[in-house]
Amino acid sequence: MDGPEIETDTNNFGALNFTEDHPAREMQDTFYLENGNLLRTHTSAIQVRTLRKLKPPFRIIAPGRVFRYEEVDASHEHTFYQIEGMVVGKDISAANLIDTMQVLLSRIFEKEIKTRLRPGYFPFVEPGFELDVNCLVCEGKGCPVCKQSGWLELLPCGLIHPNVLSYAGLDPKEWTGFAFGLGLDRLVMMRYGIHDIRYFQSGNLRFLKQF
């Protein structure tokens, strides 16, 4: 699935259960356009379009570029890429989500990697989780990429919030699902041992020609 990089406030926030006063809607976090639209801050906006378009059960993957007005450092950029994953069906549980994440990451890295799952709050999922991976750049010893913690936040995930399903016209008593947003830039950093996310936007041909 795909979606536009310029989105409506409704698709990027409202339909995903963000309250009107949520901090993510503020000017210091989001790039707004003069007409009231915005540069999408996450590929989760594609969830909204998909839920309106497809009849469940379904599974989708949606890669895309996203934008956030935030301070740039070794692990944060104002422009980066995500891969949105979403499954909607009957009797979907957190166990299905965890198993999917483990299989996905082991296939990508071609080996078993150490992960941890922490509770996390995101308006569009309940319960919500943060999935961290042991930093492969420094092998968990601590570096600028993982902010010396040995861990790198790779993806937020969780079971789709009933309000999101209801907004799309689905009965949350009948349908359930999970969703995740995988940071593609950070994934590549882990896969190839890249120490600074800013290399991707630098235009440095010596760096880019390696791939």
Helix 184-192 vs helix 94-109: crossing angle, to nearest 10: 40
**Pair of tokens at residue 205:** 């041909």
Q: What local confidence, expressed as pLDDT, does residue 161 receive?
A: 98
In a domain, 88, yes or no: yes
* Number of independent structural domains in the chain: 1
**Pair of tokens at residue 211:** 């791939």
Average pLDDT over the chain reads 92
Nearest to 66 by CA among 183, 178, 155: 183
Read off the pLDDT of residues 155-169 as tens digits, 9 standing for 90 and up: 899 999 999 999 999
Domain around 108: 6-208
In a domain, 11, yes or no: yes
CA atoms within 13 A of residue 160's CA, in its CB half-sphere? 32
Q: Residue 194 pLDDT > 80, yes or no?
A: yes
In a domain, 99, yes or no: yes
CA distance 29 to 56: 33
Read off the pLDDT of residues 89-137 as tens digits, 9 standing for 90 and up: 999 999 999 899 889 988 988 888 888 889 999 999 999 999 998 888 8
Q: What local confidence, expressed as pLDDT, does residue 53 receive?
A: 95
CATH number at residue 165: 3.30.930.10
In a domain, 39, yes or no: yes
Residues 137-161, mean pLDDT to the nearest whole number: 89
Residue 70's pLDDT band (cuts 50, 70, 90): confident
In a domain, 1, yes or no: no
